[in-house]
Amino acid sequence: MTTSTPGRDFILTLDCPDRPGIVHAVTEFLVAHDANIVQCQQFDDRQNGRFFMRMHLESLNSAYGKDALIQGFGRTAEAYSMNWRLVDAAERTRTLILVSKYEHCLNDLLFRRRLGTLDIDVPLVVSNHPDAAGMAAAHGVEFRHIPVTPDGKEEAEAELLRLVDDLRIDLVVLARYMQILSPELCKSLEGRAINIHHSFLPSFKGAGPYGQAHARGVKLIGATAHYVTPDLDEGPIIEQDVARVDHSMDPARLAAIGRDVESQVLARAVRWHCASRVLLNHGRTVVFG
């Protein structure tokens, strides 16, 4: 949690084929642009020969703002065929939250945003039910009720996508949104949509995981935050956690305990994503926590 100044602190993330000299080339660029390293994390995936890096840098020379740095880094990036991104560390992620009837994750996210421990702007909360309108209002956030009827689903998704574009949304969070998105929508949101699944994946995929967990008699229940992909519950996992349960607890109790885990896991995943700490690596994630 290093405080960031707009136009002065930047986050550079990149991944590229591993080979000698990468870090040297990047620091070369830093020196040439009067930039200093605040924090740097690296991961060398030797199995796939790919290198990942996240660098928090501060510009010591006002002449080099975001655009100058982006332009300046282009040559280096090309030389090493990097997949990269440079963002202002103080920029807040424009986040659209999707919710159904369970509001615990929504409440948690909106409260952290208010506390300032989650660097997100929330231009809109969307739900297929009207229930969450009150909570959105209490947090001073716009709310839109978009019902999803059996044969109105396509239309609903179209409206959703329209909102994502109109509001320049960076991230869509499915905070217990109990609707299955179409493969098309998943595709178009790939890499910028996070879902919380209320089980420790790959255990108990699909519906009613707490009921499944109770039936199987597990001694721990969990939650999993992952990027949304067309194949359900198979997206890259960002974060997971568990809580201990016992034989005396019925599915309702498991669900109550699970809500805490879901809220925490989702909040961590969103925080890391918004801080550019999550990089994709062949269906898995590199998390520079």
Q: Which of 6, 31, 145, 147: binder of a copy of itself (CB under 8 A)?
A: 31
What are the DSSP E strand ranges found in 118-219?
Answer: 120-127, 143-145, 171-174, 193-197
**What residues numbered 174-233 form the site for a copy of itself, per CB under 8 A?**
200-204, 216-220, 222
From 233, 246, 250, 260, active-site residue: 233
Q: Is 79 in the site for a copy of itself (CB under 8 A)?
A: no
Nearer to a copy of itself, 119 or 157 (CB): 119
Helix, strand counts (H, E) of the chain: 8, 13
Q: Is 2 in the site for a copy of itself (CB under 8 A)?
A: yes
The residue range among 41-49, 149-157, 176-184, 189-197 that interacts with a copy of itself, by the rule CB under 8 A, is 41-49
d(CA 137, CA 94): 18
Closest CA to 163 of 143, 134, 148: 143
* Residue 90: half-sphere exposure toward Cβ, Cα within 13 Å: 9
Question: The dihedral of CA 125, 129, 133, 134: what is its sign?
Answer: negative
Residue bearing tokens 């208010």: 114
Nearer to a copy of itself, 151 or 246 (CB): 246
Least spacing, CB of residue 129 vs a copy of itself, in Å? 16
Tokens of 199: 């089980």
Read off the amino acid at residue 199. Answer: S
Q: Which of 105, 236, 270, 277: binder of a copy of itself (CB under 8 A)?
A: 236
Coil, helix or strand at residue 100: coil
Nearer to a copy of itself, 121 or 241 (CB): 241
Q: Which of 124, 174, 237, 274: binder of a copy of itself (CB under 8 A)?
A: 237
Task: Respond yes or no: is residue 233 known to be catalytic.
Answer: yes
Nearer to a copy of itself, 185 or 245 (CB): 245
Closest CA to 110 of 91, 96, 127: 96
**What residues numbered 239-258 form the site for a copy of itself, per CB under 8 A?**
239-242, 246-250, 252-253, 256
Strand partners, 72: none
Q: Is 283 in the site for a copy of itself (CB under 8 A)?
A: yes
**Any alpha helices (H) in 174-250, and if so which ranges?**
183-188, 209-216
Q: What letter would DSSP give residue 92?
A: P
Q: Is 107 in the site for a copy of itself (CB under 8 A)?
A: yes
d(CA 26, CA 140): 42
Tokens of 146: 């978009």
Q: Is 9 in the site for a copy of itself (CB under 8 A)?
A: no
Nearer to a copy of itself, 160 or 277 (CB): 277
Contact positions vs a copy of itself (CB under 8 A): 1-2, 20-24, 27-28, 30-31, 34-44, 46-47, 60, 104, 107, 111, 115, 117, 138, 200-204, 216-220, 222, 236-242, 246-250, 252-253, 256, 259-260, 264, 281, 283-287, 289
What residues are annotated to the active site?
A: 233
